[in-house]
Structure 1
């Protein structure tokens, strides 16, 4: 079935804003500017400040949602469904995990190229699969185990390409928007103790503390283009989250995965065009292997295999997986109660 214009718009918005998100964050890392108290030019290395900006972008989605909800309630016949009520604190544990992961992610982006960073994010499949087995009791299919192994191989190839290109030596000397709220508030408060935690050569700021937010603001004051890069990161993540959720709802989760993979290609091509990195053939090989692992894990091979007369078990495996998916999502329980 052909996509509608709205679906095409969502796919293009997700691909564009997702690419801008990584590129703008890397652009900010490439600036150098004087800091506070007359410190000389130094690189803008403030991953935790960037993480706060990202959570601010996610939080803006929640603000827009409540504005639209209030506007809808003023109508004679409201049409928006606010969804079921729940305790927002349920999202605090995943928000803390997201906050830690996002902060480490921006530290990693400062150490490597934008394209390698985007490819290495494919490691999420490995941990998602293993943790779902350990904590949710999920049974992974053989193709998913193979996908995890292939993904590990792809990560090794990408890491090797990054090492050979020299990037590894550059430095060092609705649930999403709710986690955005917790992440923004908590991480903003954590910037205060981070200002006093001395970490020595691990940090790139002049005071060698875990995060010097004041130094970041001083650098922004000396070079306003840094603010433009940070705003690009904040605004793009807001639209990317909206587009990603909408693509999953309007099209499919598989389409979202494919678009996320295409985002890696766009980031790689743009980085080469801007001269931020040099071409390395191993990156292409690593990306292809990662794409294959992701496809196997997400079952993109099943429609093709189901059409082959030699593979009748694929359709049966899909049918066996359905009750498990219902159990994990709580759909089976809701059906029994009704």
Structure 2
């Protein structure tokens, strides 16, 4: 069945904005500018400020939701289901997980390449699968367990590629690259906890996806914005990558933006892209399928890698291709993308998961991720 022009537009929008989201964040990290009070020129290293911008983009999904709802209600035959009323505080625990995981990942992005950053985020499959078995009582079929083990193998290969490239990378020390990779994987544990919390407490209330993302974005934006104040006074020694060596120096970030306004373009690219990415991703699921969304999400890793190579942000390593292909295979096995082929071979047919193994449940686990 051929796609309509609208479906092609949605697929292209999701692929483009998803790629821009990571690339713009990495682009911001590559700028250097003077700071406040005649502080000499230094790199723009403000992961928590970047995370605030990302949550602002998620928060914008709430405005999109109410705009669409108002437009729908004015039509002769309203079709949009806003969902039942709910307590917004339901979203506070997953929002705190999102805030913590996102902040850690932006710290890690300062230390490693954009392509490795995107590839290593595939580790979320491992922890989501294990936590869903432990806390949601879900039973994974053999292909999903195989997908988890294949994903672990892929992570090892990508890690080896970074270890090899770290010896030849002038922009990052080997220790920084390894630390960054470990932080990304650690962040996926927190992201997996977020997904399990959403599955257990939030989605049973049938909340509209845009409303869910926007509400989490609201909590993340408000809480992290307030936390920037104490972060300004918390010393972290040599771990701090800003001149004052504090957890986050938001004033330094604003001063650097004043000296180098192009940084704001990169930050806005991250904010705007995350809003459009969530909208496009949910629309792709509705108009095409959750499987298509998963495939497009994997393709953006290729786009990020290709653009990074073209811009000279990183050097080519064959191990990364192998690692990406293995991670792609692991994701395909876990998400059941192999099933249509297996169904044509009677001796390979496997029983569908009894609890929560369908595309709808897996779609809930990928909603709202930047």
TM over 0.5, shorter chain: yes
Partners of 1:233 and 1:160 in 2: CA distance = 29
Partners of 2:356 and 2:162 in 1: CA distance = 39
Structure 1 residue aligned with 2:38: 38
Instruction: Report deviation, 1:5.
Output: 1.4
Structure 2 residue aligned with 1:69: 69
Partners of 1:272 and 1:325 in 2: CA distance = 37
Instruction: Report deviation, 1:309.
Output: 3.3
- TM superposition score normalised by structure 1: 0.91
The answer to whether the 8 A contact 2:61-2:213 is kept is: no
Structure 1 residue aligned with 2:173: 169
Which residue of 186, 199, 214 corresponds with 2:236?
A: 199
Instruction: Report deviation, 1:67.
Output: 2.9
| Root-mean-square deviation (Å) | 1.9
> 2:265 matched to 1:228?
yes
Structure 1 residue aligned with 2:99: 99
Instruction: Report deviation, 1:84.
Output: 1.7
Deviation track 1:194-252 (CA, whole Å, cap 9, x = no partner) reads 11110011111001000000000000000001000000010111100100111112211
Secondary structure of the residue that 1:245 maps to in structure 2?
Answer: helix
Give the unaligned 5+ runs of structure 2. 180-208, 362-370
Name which one, 1 or 2, has greater alpha-carbon Rg.
1
Instruction: Report deviation, 1:325.
Output: 4.9
Give the unaligned 5+ runs of structure 1. 330-338
Q: 1:270 to 1:325 in 2, by over 3 A?
A: closer
The answer to whether the 8 A contact 2:140-2:357 is kept is: no
Secondary structure of the residue that 1:37 maps to in structure 2?
Answer: coil
Structure 2 residue aligned with 1:184: 221
Structure 2 residue aligned with 1:140: 140
Instruction: Report deviation, 1:72.
Output: 4.2
Partners of 1:116 and 1:49 in 2: CA distance = 22
Partners of 2:89 and 2:149 in 1: CA distance = 36
Partners of 2:319 and 2:175 in 1: CA distance = 22
Partners of 1:98 and 1:158 in 2: CA distance = 24
Q: Which runs of 4+ in 1 moved over 6 A?
A: none
- TM superposition score normalised by structure 2: 0.83
Deviation track 1:68-101 (CA, whole Å, cap 9, x = no partner) reads 3334445666443322211111111111101111
Q: 1:322 to 1:247 in 2, by over 3 A?
A: farther
Partners of 2:163 and 2:227 in 1: CA distance = 32
The answer to whether the 8 A contact 1:111-1:171 is kept is: no
The answer to whether the 8 A contact 1:111-1:170 is kept is: no
Partners of 2:357 and 2:25 in 1: CA distance = 36
Secondary structure of the residue that 1:2 maps to in structure 2?
Answer: coil
Structure 1 residue aligned with 2:202: none
